[in-house]
Amino acid sequence: MISRQSYVFLIFFTFLSCIPSKPIELRNLEIKDFKLVTATNIILNTESEFYNPNATRIRLKQIYLDIFVSGKKVGFVDQEINELIMPKSNFKLSTEIQLDLSKSDLFSSVLSLFGSQNVEILITGRARVVVNGIPLNVPFEIKDQFKF
């Protein structure tokens, strides 16, 4: 007969095997258009291409991101999504990035998004995903340089 500790260990091991082992990679970020909401708020419509290096499929339910350009927080994304991500494949997400220009010294960072220069982008956040029927919050951090 199997002991109670063995059951707990088996359940714990099964749960850990469902967690995605490799972080999702950002491959491309493209700004489609933007609209001026107020004098200090802009919404950027973007299309981002990601790669899922994991061997399991993932259902993406929600994404919350903080976006930093050259070390300054320029915006955030808080979006409900219902996207099935296949294993070891590329996928695209359309997101709305909300930019706040009212913060000090932020305007030059935002203008660098529209210029033709390299900028360092740091995207931190978490994604609410479902893996094999188990809901998880997966934190991630993507750091890259882009030329817009």
pLDDT tens digits, the chain, 148 residues: what are they? 566 666 555 555 555 455 556 777 777 778 788 888 887 788 888 888 888 888 888 888 988 888 887 788 888 888 898 888 888 999 888 888 887 766 645 555 555 556 556 667 788 888 888 887 888 887 878 787 766 5
Find the distance separating the first CA and the last CA of the chain, reported in whole Å. 63
Q: In the sheet that 58-69 helps form, which strands lie side by side, from edge to edge? A: 25-36, 41-52, 89-100, 72-85, 58-69, 118-131, 134-147
Q: Which residues pair with 139 in a beta bridge?
A: 126
Per-residue confidence (pLDDT) for residue 56, from 0 to 100: 83
CATH architecture of the domain covering 4-147 = Sandwich (2.60)
Question: Could you give the angle at the alpha carbon of 60 between the alpha carbons of 55 and 63, nearest 5°?
Answer: 125
Per-residue confidence (pLDDT) for residue 141, from 0 to 100: 81
Pick from 110, 113, 143, 109: nearest CA to 125: 143
Question: Could you give the angle at the alpha carbon of 40 between the alpha carbons of 35 and 42, nearest 5°?
Answer: 25
Burial bucket for residue 129 (CB in 10 Å: 0-12, 13-18, 19+): buried
